[in-house]
Structure 1
Amino acid sequence: MSSFMTEKAAKNINFDYIFGEVKPITEYGIRRKQEAKPFFRGQEADLRNEFNKIRAFIESEKRRDIIDVLKHIKNIQETLERANKNQVLDEVELYEIKNFLIQVKKMDGALRVLPIYNNTLKKLTPLPQLYEMLDPAHENLNTFYIYDEYTDRLKSIRKEKRQIEKDIRSIREKLKAEIEKKHGIRLNLKDEATVSKSLKDKIEDLSKDNRLRVSAENYLNVIFRIKNNDDMDALEHRYEMLSFEEEEEEFCIRQNISLEIKEFYHVLTENTRIIGETDYIIAKANYAQKTNSVEPEIVPELELEVRGGRNLKLEKTLKEKHREYVPVDMSLKKKVICITGANMGGKTVSLRMVGQIAAMASYGMFVPCLYASLCLFDHIFISVGDDQSIEKGLSTFGAEIVNLKEAIDSSEDRSLILVDELAGGTNPKEGYAITRAVVNYLKKKDCITVLTTHYDNVANDEEVQNLQVAGLKLPDEADLTTKNIEQISRYMDYRLIEVKYNRDIPKDALKIARIAGINLEIIEDAENYIN
């Protein structure tokens, strides 16, 4: 992000918050979001394709189905890498591959109904031939084990093992019946009988039966259990040999499947990439719908126009306080735009909103407004008045100048430069001079520069656009039943109005002081000084 916009700039325009609210579901989608880069000049067609995809998912009835599929997709990249290195996958890993193939097939079916499927949408590649290897019994279940159908040898081994289990069970049941009948006892499901030590004759009798053995003993009881005879020992030995052969055969089968997966390594990896891309686009579609955002019009000319624009982070904060956000219109027609008006009039909010909308559009996102038309920028810079650099020992003004130098150095490129109260941290004469000089310099560049300022006459230039906060619309003094700073938002008109370049900045500071309840004597004395 640094070449387009520093992390500090992203934070200052609240883009870090906005981007954090875009929430892909899969690990592939999260990775795709982390790798996201802005669209630059010359990539307008690619950006419009991105918008087409977002719009298609917003309008699609299948979006919910695709989201449900995404919830079942796990990260198989490590498994794929193991297969690609000729390592033999275990049954859990083979299950992961099978589940992935099932989800790819479902997702591909849902994507095919989208109108953009044959145009801009990247297509998944289902692999029925690989799925067939993972489901030779055609059960179509979201499970995996080494099926008998894989080889005749495996089927034969398992058949013989099942017969041995049956034969052992039959011999044991016969012995059990004979012992129970002879000794008048009941053997449990473990083929055991618990006899009290008080029954000495019974214990002696059972001890003489060579078909039984003592399996356990305590101070109260003796536990007898059926003992294997020669036939059972032979069968169990054969069973053990067959189990070893079964493991070898299963290993060979897993090895063959793993090699087949390796053959499709690049296709499977491409499918994970497409899933991540789709997941990321759907996340942007979800956020666009959640925030009532619209598709911006991307134009080649140096231009930025917004109608009904909203600063998303502030809007959320106000909503939590049950207060209404006032949308703002901005039509930036010149290379330098000055926003003037009283403190608390929303100048900085509007400044950040411009940066937000430009950054969101550049990152292929819909923007929070009723309409937006803008170009793509090479860089976005912002300098806010309270931006201090403690690490470098810079004052507010020093940090401003450092940020400003970075912006000016890149002004040969098409940049969006946002400056809040330039030189507000130094003496007024020098501050005014610096601000006017910066305006004169940047109005010649192929950039859009938006400054907020309190200095009169900075916008006294036909080449500079002056937008003014409509300001306080106070009722009569008698209607101000309480004097509290919280009332300002009730009477402040945050809309921006284009005014003639030679109009003075409105003086709302004393009005704000009056609402805040400052002593009337101080207010009147200040008015005298102004007059």
Structure 2
Amino acid sequence: MRFIDDKSLNRLGFKTLLNRVETLSLYGNDKLKKLKNYNKGEEQELEAEFSKMEVFLKYSQSDRDTVRNIEGIIHRLKDIKNVLKNCLKGNILDDVDLFEIKVQGMLMESLNEYLEKFPKELEVFRLNDISKVLEALDPDGEKVPTFYIYDSYSEVLKEIRDKKKSIEKKIFSTSDIDEIGRLKEERLSVLVEEEQEELRIRQILSAEVLKYGEVYLENIDKIGNLDFLMAKVRFAQQYGGKRAKISTEMKISAKGLVNIEVREMLDSKGKNFTPIDIELASGVTIITGANMGGKSVALKTITENLLLFNYGFFVVADEAEFPIVDFVFFVSDDMQDISKGLSTFGAEIMKLKEVNVFLELGTGFVVFDEFARGTNPKEGQKFVKALAECLNDKDSISLITTHFDGIAQANMNHYEVVGLKNVDFNKLKTKIEISVNSMSLIQDYMDYRLERSDDSEVPKDALNIAKLIGIDEKFANIILQEYSKED
């Protein structure tokens, strides 16, 4: 079953976020490219991954020099998987291939010396012994990063090369044209013998490499896993990631949850990101609040961290608990699909059909951001209410933001963006009148925290915001009359 579609990942900016995970080698980068989510039943595997990350994090703080040396070696590794696979097919390796295998083997041996210092919890990364291959590729024991078909490989080869050198000396010492021609013919014949003997030796060496081809590939896999794990730890250190608890139930509990990109954007403007505290369970949770209140940011923040967790990363929060889910759907109000001739609402309905199939097959996390906003308000309210009631009967965790009244029922979880609820509007209006940027000032006063609510009505901050910006008084009075008709 598909975990999440590419369009949703792009909409969330998750692929861009993963670009910040910096591996040191092509092996680690390959692990990142082939990143897969953990599945139900793999809780122990995910717990083990988190434990290794936590142990490595502590170790890297206590022995930074060793970690730097490990990073330096991994950074120097080239991708030789194709060379090894070529060998495993029974093909004869050339000098360049044998050189690459020798150099990589030497680096693996050096790396293993540092990996031996790892705590027991990380011994899974220690490499297999490949000393026999290195002995074969370095018969003179010089331990230098070069390769050549050495004379010591074969007495026959040594004799052939000695003969070649002798002929070459004669060529350079004579001026007789006929003699030079004869010697060159003789040298050509010796060269053929040399190539044949070198080919025989390369066959022997390729056979030796073949014996350890799978061992090399296993070491490469370990290095890739280590490189990727170190990258995830650096990512956590850079952005404040913490280990989340694995929930055995369909529930999410988080304090101080952060969206990395939004936080950075606000930091660049000298503003602070408001972390999210929230508790979600199976069934539906409704989030209401004014426009500009950060509802969509809240959804993306929760979803982004759920994805990080399910892909084996630490989450950016003070503390959190997430479940492994079968699927994630993120349905937002920007889903217009021009290529299929669908409006936003049409695209949402198509996606809802797909969501319903997945809801019958497993338990996941479903987000609807302002569902049915693209249709008329009376019909839209009915659609959202029906959606909430349907999702509330499911075992999956569903999250809906809406600006429609009467959606949240007594048996549903309901959060409300605090917004401008506690603001002194007269004081704020005075500041706006002398401000050159009223929208920015309103955002500074907006309280983006989420708080539980028992009210099924959504906040009426829209009129207050309009007044603060400078709505016409007659227009405002008409709106007030419309509000009074609802009471």
Alignment TM-score, normalising by the size of structure 1 = 0.82
Sort the Cα spacing of 1:421 and 1:144 in 2 relative to 1 into closer, same or farther, 3 A.
same
Task: Map 1:89-488 to 2 at 5 A.
Answer: 89-117=93-121, 121-162=124-165, 171=173, 227-228=175-176, 239-333=187-281, 335-412=283-360, 413-461=362-410, 463-472=411-420, 473=423, 474=425, 475-480=427-432, 481-482=434-435, 484-488=438-442
Structure 1 equivalent of residue 482 of structure 2: 529
Equivalent of residue 87 in structure 2, options 83, 86, 89: 83
Structure 1 equivalent of residue 38 of structure 2: 39
- SS of the equivalent of 1:414 reads coil
Equivalent of residue 471 in structure 2, options 499, 518, 525: 518
Return the letter of the residue paired with 1:366: F
Structure 2 equivalent of residue 491 of structure 1: 445
Return the letter of the residue paired with 1:81: K
Q: Give the Å deviation of 1:139.
A: 0.9
Return the letter of the residue paired with 1:513: A
- SS of the equivalent of 2:242 reads coil
Sort the Cα spacing of 1:39 and 1:520 in 2 relative to 1 into closer, same or farther, 3 A.
same
For residues 124-146 of structure 1, the C-alpha deviation after alignment (integer angstroms, 9 at most, x for no partner) is 21310010011111111111111
Return the letter of the residue paired with 1:303: K
Mapped contact 2:52–2:121 kept (Cα < 8 A): no
Mapped contact 2:326–2:363 kept (Cα < 8 A): yes
Mapped contact 1:104–1:126 kept (Cα < 8 A): no
Mapped contact 2:81–2:217 kept (Cα < 8 A): yes
Structure 2 equivalent of residue 177 of structure 1: none
**Structure 1 gap segments, 5+ residues each:** 173-226
Q: Give the Å deviation of 1:8.
A: 1.8
Q: Give the Å deviation of 1:469.
A: 0.7
Alpha-carbon distance in structure 1 between the residues aligned to 2:168 and 2:438: 88
Alpha-carbon distance in structure 2 between the residues aligned to 1:8 and 1:343: 24
- SS of the equivalent of 1:298 reads strand
Q: Give the Å deviation of 1:305.
A: 1.1
- SS of the equivalent of 1:411 reads helix
Greater CA drift, 375-384 or 514-523: 514-523
Alpha-carbon distance in structure 2 between the residues aligned to 1:521 and 1:430: 29
- SS of the equivalent of 2:225 reads helix
Equivalent of residue 65 in structure 1, options 62, 69, 72: 69
Sort the Cα spacing of 1:456 and 1:229 in 2 relative to 1 into closer, same or farther, 3 A.
closer
Sort the Cα spacing of 1:305 and 1:118 in 2 relative to 1 into closer, same or farther, 3 A.
closer
CA RMSD of aligned residues (A): 2.4
Alpha-carbon distance in structure 2 between the residues aligned to 1:66 and 1:3: 36
Alpha-carbon distance in structure 2 between the residues aligned to 1:517 and 1:384: 30
Return the letter of the residue paired with 2:440: E
**Structure holding more helix per residue:** 2
Return the letter of the residue paired with 2:309: A
Q: Give the Å deviation of 1:229.
A: 7.1
1:13 paired with 2:17, answer no
- SS of the equivalent of 1:125 reads coil
Greater CA drift, 449-458 or 273-282: 273-282
Return the letter of the residue paired with 1:31: D
Return the letter of the residue paired with 2:467: R
Alpha-carbon distance in structure 2 between the residues aligned to 1:16 and 1:364: 15
Q: Give the Å deviation of 1:113.
A: 2.1
1:24 paired with 2:27, answer no
- SS of the equivalent of 2:255 reads strand
Greater CA drift, 4-13 or 369-378: 4-13
Mapped contact 1:74–1:100 kept (Cα < 8 A): yes
For residues 345-367 of structure 1, the C-alpha deviation after alignment (integer angstroms, 9 at most, x for no partner) is 11011111111111111111111
Q: Give the Å deviation of 1:292.
A: 1.3
For residues 361-394 of structure 1, the C-alpha deviation after alignment (integer angstroms, 9 at most, x for no partner) is 1111111111110111111111111211222222
Greater CA drift, 145-154 or 39-48: 145-154
1:55 paired with 2:65, answer no
Return the letter of the residue paired with 2:160: I
